[in-house]
Amino acid sequence: MQSGIAVIIHGSPIVQQGLKNLLLSRNIAISTLTDMVPECALLSSWKDTLLLVDLEFAGELKKHFRILKKNGNTVIGISNSDAFHSVTSDFDEIIAIHDNAETIFQKTGGYQAKHTNSKAGSQLSSRENEILTMVAQGFSNKMIADQLFLSIHTVITHRKNITYKLGIKSISGLTLYAALNNLVDSQP
């Protein structure tokens, strides 16, 4: 069962991969890994997401905190030292670079608790789950439309709704979500 969606914004690929692996072990899917603060439009589209952000980007992110919080996001800073910056009050929690896995899980616990009780895929309709499964299996919009006897426009509308509800825009992210929620066989 999936416990949520996360975004990792950090300059180090090693830190990105380490956090990704830790979060995946707790069934939190990663929708985005990036080494810079995304554009405002993308930040505004994230809803009910766990954001792990290098404190080096706190200044750039500061102007977006209000919208991030309004959208129900949990924003956790990643400090490269024990000396936290003065902007840490905007963050829900701070992870130090040397924190062990259990400490990181404790600091992300509030976000995880919000998502543990929800049933996987319950936010999607049965038709949306069906289309998501087909997307994860590599079907094109036309192939889905033909197989389900729908118009391409209807399939596109369902895909937009799926993207909006899950907050996942990439096909790989949707595929990971589908696999984590047993909508497709995760084995090749």
Q: How confident is the model at residue 27 (pLDDT cuts 50, 70, 90)?
A: confident
The arithmetic mean of pLDDT across residues 18-47, rounded, is 84
Look up residue 51 and give its two tokens: 């954001």
The arithmetic mean of pLDDT across residues 168-174, rounded, is 85
Average pLDDT, the chain: 83
Whether 129 contacts 183, CB under 8 Å: yes
Q: Which residue has the higher pLDDT, 55 or 167?
A: 55
Rounded to whole angstroms, the Cα distance separating 98 from 111 reads 21
Rounded to whole angstroms, the Cα distance separating 99 from 107 reads 10
**pLDDT value at position 1?**
39
| 66 burial level (CB within 10 Å; 0-12, 13-18, 19+) | exposed
Q: What are the residue boundaries of the structural domains of the chain, listed by start?
A: 4-116, 126-180
Q: How confident is the model at residue 119 (pLDDT cuts 50, 70, 90)?
A: very low
For residue 77, the surrounding DSSP H or E stretch is strand 74-79
What dotted CATH number matches 126-180?
1.10.10.10
pLDDT of 143 higher than 90: yes
**pLDDT value at position 118?**
45
Q: How confident is the model at residue 127 (pLDDT cuts 50, 70, 90)?
A: very high
The topology under which CATH files domain 4-116 is Rossmann fold (3.40.50)
Q: How confident is the model at residue 156 (pLDDT cuts 50, 70, 90)?
A: very high
The pLDDT tens digits of the residues spanning 54-106 come to: 998 888 888 888 889 888 889 999 988 766 555 567 888 899 888 888 888 88
Look up residue 79 and give its two tokens: 């400090």
